[in-house]
Amino acid sequence: MNILEKTIVIDGENIVIRPITLEDLQREKDFVTNLSSETRHFRFLGGIRELSDEMATRFCDIDYEDHMAFVAVINNESTDNKPQEVGVSRYEADDKGGCECALTVADEWQNKGLGRALMDTLIEFARSKNKKTIYSYEMRANTHMEHLANDLHMKKTYDDEDTTLVRYELLLIN
């Protein structure tokens, strides 16, 4: 087993959290397409309905340094025991030693601890790569992310230029 891979159990389902790969490209596209319009809106801060091939490739082609993503997958009977993506956390490093992150959890898996598990995994990995901070820009109306950010003790600041956005930030090194 890969040391970056772990299995958690939620609602009796084994969920594998592991680095995303290019083999997940179609799974990632299907995941985004199957999100509710509200979840897609919160994730992309706007009107993306589906990922282009180029965007999906960029999301799945990680380098384990500046571009990292962890995917949560399950095997279940409704997908003929083929892995189904139920969540993803990712970061992209900036030029100041920090990294901007994003988290998306399938609607039916929200409020069950999966987002926390994905963020904990991403934060732990970012620390191992000596990233200074991890941060995200979210819509103020995204109460799921607000609760998670509070649980993670992320600092909250408001965007002076766009009153619909909030920034959450966590210092990773002392």
State pLDDT tens for residues 97-129: 999 999 999 999 999 999 999 999 999 999 999
pLDDT tens readout for residues 123-162 = 999 999 999 999 999 999 899 999 999 999 999 999 788 8
Structure tokens, 108: 């039916």
- Judge contact between 134 and 126, C-beta under 8 A: yes
pLDDT tens readout for residues 6-51 = 999 999 999 999 999 999 999 999 999 999 888 888 888 777 778 8
Domain 6-131, architecture per CATH: 3-Layer(aba) Sandwich (3.40)
pLDDT score for 1: 44
Report how far apart, in Å, the C-alpha atoms of 141 and of each of 39, 82, 157, 164 are: 11, 34, 14, 8
Structure tokens, 96: 């100041």
Domain boundaries, the chain: 6-131
